[in-house]
Amino acid sequence: MANAEATTAVVEHEAAGGEHHVEPSALGLGPGAWVALAMFIFLAILVVKKVPGAIVGGLDKQIGAIRKQLDEAKVLRAEAEKLRAEYAAKIANAEKDAAAMVEHAKSEAAAIVAKAEADAAAVISRREKMASDKIAAAERAAVDDLRAKAAEAATAAARDLIAKNHSAGADKALVDGAIAGLVN
């Protein structure tokens, strides 16, 4: 009967166009039926061996692993955000500290300059006073020296005048008058 059907298919085909083409068949099944039967058997073996469950289990494991990695990534991202915020705060504090240090250094420098100016003014004032004192001392020494020389000159002149104008008799009269003035 399979041959009769095959023959009938060939004859109908020849009458239509003229080419001769034989379609194979086995046990009364055509090629499409054999492919469908093989697929059905293959799928039945897969179901019996629980391959879909293994595939679903593997996929579930991978889904779980991916979820775990995503959770870890979220935790790491949160930690990274926290560290970023912490370092941003540290940088801001460091900038504030640097500005404060600069201001402190400027104020210290200004204080040092002011103290140096005050010290310089005090040194100049002391040196001016020392110079004035030296000048005054030199003037006093010069005046004293001049007085001493004037006294020496006056003494020398008086000695010369007395030596020229007084005699021994005049000296005796002066001494007698001085003694008489003392006794009275």
Condensed to tens digits (0 to 9), the pLDDT of residues 32-72 reads: 888 999 999 998 988 888 888 888 888 999 999 999 999 99
User: Is residue 10 within 8 Å of residue 20, measured between CB atoms?
Assistant: yes
Residue 37 structural domain: 1-49
Please write the tens of the pLDDT for every residue from 22-32.
Answer: 777 778 888 88
Confidence tier at 137 by pLDDT (50, 70, 90): very high
**Amino acid (one-letter) located at 173:** A
Is 20 inside a domain boundary? yes
Is 27 inside a domain boundary? yes
What sections of the chain are H helices per DSSP? 2-16, 31-48, 51-165, 168-183
Which residues are bridge partners to 116 per DSSP?
Answer: none
Of 21-35, 116-130, 159-173, minimum mean pLDDT range: 159-173
Residues in contact with 27: Cβ distance below 8 Å, sequence separation at least 6, in sequence order:
2
Is 108 inside a domain boundary? no
Is 85 inside a domain boundary? no
Q: How many domains does the chain have?
A: 1
Phi, psi angles (nearest 5°) of residue 166: -105, 145
Percent of the chain with pLDDT over 70: 89
Is 144 inside a domain boundary? no
Is 45 inside a domain boundary? yes
Q: Is 20 helix (H, G, I), strand (E, B) or coil?
A: coil
Is 31 inside a domain boundary? yes
In this predicted structure, the answer to whether residue 4 has a pLDDT above a threshold of 60 is no
Is 130 inside a domain boundary? no
**Region 107-128 average pLDDT:** 94
More confident residue, 21 or 59: 59
